Amino acid sequence: MLLWVFRAIFWIVVIAVMFVSVTDEDIGGVAASNNFKQVVVSGLGMSIFVFLLDVLTPKRKLSAMAGVFFALLVGLLISLVLAAVVDMVGDSYRITMIPETARAIKYLLGICVCYLTISIVMRTKDDVRFVIPYVQFTKQMKGARPLVLDTSVIIDGRIADLCHSKLFDAPLVVPRFVLNELQLIADSADRLKRNRGRRGLDILNAMQMDPVIDVEINDTVLEDMDEVKGVDQKLVMFTKSCNGRLATTDYNLSKVALVREVDVVNINDLANSLKVVALPGEAMQVKIIKPGEEADQGIGYLDDGTMVVVEGGRNKIGRELLISITSSLQTSAGKMIFGKFEEFAQQDSGGGNRRRPFGKRPAGSGERDQQ
């Protein structure tokens, strides 16, 4: 809407300048019909050209209002250079123009150039870049870069423990639209979603009450945020505008943010990097919970949620096994450990499990293993 108002002002200014120029006695007189045609043709021609060039160009948004003033300065400098071109064209082709006609053409040329430069900047909201010199408008932030939280990381809750551990000393920022989404989840008709939403609100409230954690509910609304659909896209735009880092547990959101050149702190990646490395050949005790996808595979889980795939464990569901690790796979979605069955874990008198070297089985255990 603002851009169309600017376009209307442009046409009003062009028509006003042309009207004042053609009503001049030296330009609009009977003896000066050529000057009249030159003003009208050049003014309308340049105006229509730059207007169509502006409307038909793909729209790109602007985020820095300072770019408008910079574009105006660039437009005035270009107009000053092109003013000499007008005189050169008139002299080269021996076009008869009185000074008033040349001045009117220069005025119209300056208006068109300034309009075009400002329009280009208004449609490039993210940044304005020139080849020579290279110019980029970015929002300068003082202090530590803020950590922008999304809905998934708030519901996850581990961010509060990480802040208590002094791992993050940056302020935590929760955009208003993230809080609104959290409230919608808490009001959902689905019981599981409702519980997750309420958990997220409780965690956020606890972080706000904690004197160690600096949490801010940010009500900033970017100019084009209403045109963006989806909370993920708004999060990326908001994080980029405040030069912050996006904290999330969403794998897909992390990839989208990286494509948009936004720094991401994935809590799952951080947790996976802190896990103990499982080296091939090491022994591990695990309880088989369910059968695996492949034949003769059993699935178990460690205390931290790591999935363990055991070869030869499909018919041993519910049993504690001692396995030999063969390999491990680390991904952003989690960690998987692959191993093969060695022997059953021996239970002590207290009902607990203990590890013992491979190959030392009690008498008669071979018959029980075959069952």
| DSSP letter string, 188-244 | -SSHHHHHHHHHHHHHHHHHHH-TTS-EEEE----TTGGG--SHHHHHHHHHHHTT-
At 213, list the tokens.
Answer: 């954690």
Using alpha carbons, select from 162, 51, 38 the residue that is nearest to residue 105.
38
Q: Does one domain contain both 113 and 190?
A: no
First CA to last CA across the chain, in angstroms?
A: 77
Q: Which residue has the higher pLDDT, 66 or 296?
A: 296
Residue 267 lies in a domain: yes
- The C-alpha atoms of residue 269 and residue 335 are separated, in whole angstroms, by 10
Using the predicted structure, report yes or no on whether residue 250 has a pLDDT greater than 50: yes
Question: Distance of alpha carbon 9 from its chain centroid, rounded?
Answer: 35
Please provide the average confidence, as pLDDT, over all residues in the chain: 77
Q: Identify the residue with better confidence: 151 or 329.
A: 151
**Are 207 and 290 contained in the same domain?**
no
CA–CA dist 175, 220 (Å, integer)? 8
Residue at 330 is within a domain: yes
Task: Specify if 196 maps to a domain.
Answer: yes
Q: Are residues 171 and 266 in the same domain?
A: yes
Is residue 218 predicted with pLDDT exceeding 90?
A: no
Same domain (yes/no): 117, 151: no
- Say if pTM beats, i.e. exceeds, 0.85: no
Are residues 159 and 66 both part of a single domain? no
Mean pLDDT is lowest, of 53-62, 104-113, 323-332, 340-349, for 53-62
Whole-number pLDDT of residue 26: 65
Q: Are residues 268 and 291 in the same domain?
A: no
Pair 105, 193 in one domain? no
Range(s) of the domain holding residue 310 = 283-369
pLDDT at 360: 42
- Residue with structure tokens 């609304």? 221
The CATH number of the domain where 319 resides is what? 2.40.50
Pairwise CA distance, residues 170 & 173, whole Å: 9
pLDDT band of residue 347 (cuts 50, 70, 90) is low
Say if 133 falls within a structural domain.
Answer: no
Tell me, what's the pLDDT at 201? 93
**pLDDT given at position 167:** 79
* Model confidence at 195: pLDDT above 90: yes
C-beta neighbour count of 190 within 10 angstroms: 10
In this structure, are 267 and 290 located in the same domain? no
